[in-house]
Amino acid sequence: MVRTRQFDPDKTLHKAMMLFWANGFINLSMEQVVKGTGVNRYSLYEEFGNKEAIFNQTLERYTELVFRHMLEPLRVGNGKPALIAYFAQFKDKLKDPRAKNGCLIFNSLESDSPIRPETMQIIKEALEEQKLLIANRLNEGINSGDITAHDNPDTLSYFVAAQLRLILAIRKNQGPEKMATFCDVLLQDIKAW
């Protein structure tokens, strides 16, 4: 007799995402995933695979629900105004107490555990999408004359991406107030470009 599923896979994956986001891959045991999702180990393995497979699926979910959502100002805007809107939104979102866990993608990169190729591929694709959107907006700003202080959007996009990582590290290690101050300085720099 086939057993019927006693849980919603989408809700379960969301709960697992929140657990990995709060604890990280290395610090979260399967027992904690079982307890936090309310789904037994066998059912989790049957539906999602092992811990790494569950993590990869939660990372993909995070990328879709959170990371790409944060990129929206870069998708809908043009040039310098889109960059300013992106960083202003970034600052506002990270000031929210619910953002205390930072970014699951960047947290995964900073983890002490080795990153497996499948996981790294998910991370690389997300970061490449971010870099490409930033480079496109920079290129638009340079071509329109809105950005005059720089002329190489590719190099500048790496600089901007590095600043994002720094902002996340500041948020994690020094708190939202220091992070907000750093964001303000960066926003002023972007406005002056």
At 124-172, the pLDDT tens digits run 999 999 999 999 999 999 999 999 877 788 888 888 888 988 888 888 7
Asked whether 157 and 138 are in contact (CB, 8 A), the reply is yes
Tell me how crowded residue 8 is: count the other CB atoms within 10 A of its CB. Answer: 11
pLDDT band at 3 (very low <50, low <70, confident <90, very high): low
| pLDDT reported for residue 105 | 92
| pLDDT reported for residue 4 | 59
Beta-carbon contacts of residue 158 (< 8 Å; ≥ 6 apart): 131
| pLDDT reported for residue 68 | 94
Whether residues 75 and 38 fall in one domain: no
- Into how many domains does the chain fold? 2
Whether residues 137 and 171 fall in one domain: yes
User: Whole-number mean pLDDT of the chain?
Assistant: 90
Whether residues 28 and 103 fall in one domain: no
Q: Cα–Cα–Cα angle for 31, 49, 8, nearest 5°? A: 80
